[in-house]
Structure 1
Amino acid sequence: MGALSIRNVKKSFGNTHILKGIDLEIEKGQFLILVGPSGCGKSTLLNMIAGLDDITSGEIAIGDRVVNKLSPKDRDIAMVFQSYALYPNMTVRKNIAFGLDIRKVPKPEQEEIIARVAKTLQIEHLLDRKPMQLSGGQRQRVAMGRALARNPTLFLFDEPLSNLDAKLRVEMRSEIKLLHQRLGTTIVYVTHDQIEAMTLGDRIAVMKDGEVRQFGSPQQIYDAPADLYVAGFIGSPSMNFIPVQLREEDGHAVVELDNGRAVQKVRLSPISDSQRAFVGKQVVLGIRPEQLTDPESAHSEHGNLQTLQATVAITEPTGPDTLVTVTFNGIKTVARCHPRAAGAPGQQVELTLDPTKALLFDPTSEKRLA
Structure 2
Amino acid sequence: MGALAIKNVTKSFGDTDILKGINIDIEAGEFLILVGPSGCGKSTLMNIIAGLEQPTSGEVHIADRLVNNVAPKDRDIAMVFQSYALYPTMNVRQNIAFGMETRGVPKAEQNEIIARVAKMLQMDHLLDRKPSALSGGQRQRVAMGRALARDPKLFLFDEPLSNLDAKLRVEMRVEIKQLHQRLKTTIVYVTHDQIEAMTLGDKIAVMKDGIIQQFGSPQDIYERPSNMFVASFIGSPSMNFIPCHLVQQGEQIGVTLQGNGVPLFVALNNRPELKDRIGQKVVLGVRPEQWDVAESEHALQCQVKITEPTGPDTMVYSEVNGVEMIARIHPRAATGPGTSLPLILDVKKAVVFDPETELRIA
Structure 2 contact 9–56 (Cα < 8 Å) conserved: yes
For residues 40 and 159 of structure 1, the distance between their equivalents in structure 2, rounded to whole angstroms, comes to: 14
* Residues 305 and 268 of structure 1: CA distance in aligned 2, closer, same or farther (over 3 Å): farther
SS of the aligned residue for 1:277 comes to helix
Matched, 1:202 2:202: yes
SS of the aligned residue for 2:113 comes to helix
For residues 306 and 220 of structure 1, the distance between their equivalents in structure 2, rounded to whole angstroms, comes to: 28
Match of 1:177 in 2: 177
For residues 250 and 51 of structure 1, the distance between their equivalents in structure 2, rounded to whole angstroms, comes to: 61
1:321 deviates by 1.1
Match of 1:284 in 2: 283
For residues 153 and 248 of structure 2, the distance between their equivalents in structure 1, rounded to whole angstroms, comes to: 53
From 292, 313, 318, give the equivalent of 1:321. 313
1:258 deviates by 1.4
Counterpart of 2:345, as a letter, is L
For residues 5 and 322 of structure 1, the distance between their equivalents in structure 2, rounded to whole angstroms, comes to: 43
Match of 1:299 in 2: none
RMSD over aligned Cα, in angstroms?
A: 1.3
Structure 1 contact 269–355 (Cα < 8 Å) conserved: no
SS of the aligned residue for 1:246 comes to strand
Deviations 1:137-168 (CA, angstroms, capped at 9, x unpaired): 00000000000000000000000000000000
Match of 2:144 in 1: 144
Structure 1 contact 315–322 (Cα < 8 Å) conserved: yes
1:275 deviates by 1.7
Structure 2 contact 316–328 (Cα < 8 Å) conserved: yes
Match of 2:32 in 1: 32
Structure 1 residue ranges without an equivalent (≥5): 297-303
Counterpart of 1:292, as a letter, is W
In the superposition, the TM-score normalised over structure 1's length comes to 0.96
Structure 2 contact 203–216 (Cα < 8 Å) conserved: yes
1:105 deviates by 0.2
Structure 2 residue ranges without an equivalent (≥5): none
Structure 2 contact 305–317 (Cα < 8 Å) conserved: yes
SS of the aligned residue for 2:2 comes to coil
Deviations 1:169-206 (CA, angstroms, capped at 9, x unpaired): 00000000000000000000000000000000010000
In the superposition, the TM-score normalised over structure 2's length comes to 0.98
Which deviates the most, 331-340 or 29-38? 331-340
Match of 1:73 in 2: 73
Matched, 1:6 2:2: no
Structure 1 contact 7–60 (Cα < 8 Å) conserved: yes
Match of 1:154 in 2: 154
Give identity over the alignment, percent: 66
For residues 228 and 23 of structure 1, the distance between their equivalents in structure 2, rounded to whole angstroms, comes to: 21
Structure 2 contact 258–300 (Cα < 8 Å) conserved: no
Which deviates the most, 249-258 or 192-201? 249-258
Matched, 1:333 2:333: no
Extract structure 1 runs of 4+ deviating beyond 6 A. Answer: none
Matched, 1:354 2:353: no
SS of the aligned residue for 1:150 comes to coil
Match of 1:88 in 2: 88
For residues 56 and 146 of structure 2, the distance between their equivalents in structure 1, rounded to whole angstroms, comes to: 31
Deviations 1:81-129 (CA, angstroms, capped at 9, x unpaired): 0100000010000000010011000000000000000000000000000
Q: How many residues matched? A: 362
